[in-house]
Amino acid sequence: MSKSLNIALLGNPNTGKTSLFNQLTGLNQKVGNYPGITVEKKEGIFRLNRTTKAYLTDLPGTYSLNATSMDESVVIELLLNKSSKDFPDVIIVVADVENLKRNLFLYTQVKDLGIPTVLAINMSDQMKRKGISIDIPLLESKLKTRIALVSTRENKGLDLLKELLINYRQLSILPTFKIDDIDQNYFDDLKKAFPNQQLYKLWLVITQDVNFAKIERNKITDSADFSTLSETHLKKIQQKETVKRYQLINNILKETLFIDRESASDLRFVLDRILIHKFWGYVIFFVVLMTIFQSIFDWSSIPQDFIDNTFASLSELVKSKLPDGVFTSLLSDGIIPGLGGIVIFIPQIAFLFLFISILEETGYMSRVVFLMDRGLRRFGLNGKSVIPLISGTACAIPAVMATRNIENWKERLITILVTPFTTCSARLPVYAILIALVIPQGSFLGLSYQGLMLMFLYLIGFGMALISAWILSKTLKIKSKSYFIVEMPNYKLPLLKNIGITVWEKTKTFITEAGKIILAISIILWVLASNGPGENFSKAEQIIKTNNAELDQETLANKINSFKLEHSYIGILGKSIEPIISPLGYDWKIGIALISSFAAREVFVGTLATIYSVESNAEETIKNQMASEVKSDGKPLFNLASGISLMLFYAFAMQCMSTLAIVKKETNSWKWPLIQLLSMSLLAYTIALLTYQILA
123: left (phi over 0), alpha (psi -120 to 50) or beta: left
Q: What is the pLDDT of residue 28?
A: 67
Question: In a 10 Å sphere around its CB, with 0-12 CB exposed, 13-18 middle and 19+ buried, how is residue 326 labelled?
Answer: exposed
**Residue 59, pLDDT above cutoff 70:** yes
Q: For 551, how many CA atoms within 13 A lie in the half-sphere containing its CB?
A: 13
Pair 655, 390: CB distance under 8 Å: no
| Percent of the chain residues past pLDDT 70, beyond the cut | 82
**Residue 370, pLDDT above cutoff 80:** no
Report the DSSP beta bridge partners of residue 33: 40
Nearest of 456, 428, 462, 494 to residue 290 by alpha carbon: 456
In 12-123, beta strands by DSSP E: 29-33, 40-47, 52-58, 90-96, 117-122
**Residue 666, pLDDT above cutoff 70:** yes
Hey, what CATH class is 3-170 in?
alpha beta
Dihedral, CA of residue 207, residue 209, residue 213 and residue 215, to nearest 10? 70
Coil vs helix vs strand at 526: helix
Q: What is the pLDDT of residue 685?
A: 94
Looking at every residue in the chain, the average pLDDT score rounds to: 79
Whole-angstrom distance, CA of residue 628 vs CA of residue 471: 42
**pLDDT tens digits for range 196-254:** 777 888 888 877 755 444 444 444 444 445 444 566 777 788 888 888 888 999 999 99
Q: Note if the pTM is more than 0.85.
A: no
**pLDDT tens digits for range 429-467:** 788 888 988 888 887 777 788 888 888 998 899 899 999
Element housing 257 (H / E): strand 257-259
Whole-angstrom distance, CA of residue 577 vs CA of residue 654: 18
Q: For 425, how many CA atoms within 13 A lie in the half-sphere containing its CB?
A: 29
Q: Domain ranges for the chain, please list them.
A: 3-170, 179-259, 280-475, 514-695
**Inter-CA distances, 73 with 67, 214, 451, Å:** 5, 18, 43
**pLDDT tens digits for range 678-696:** 999 999 999 999 999 999 7
Q: What is the pLDDT of residue 345?
A: 66
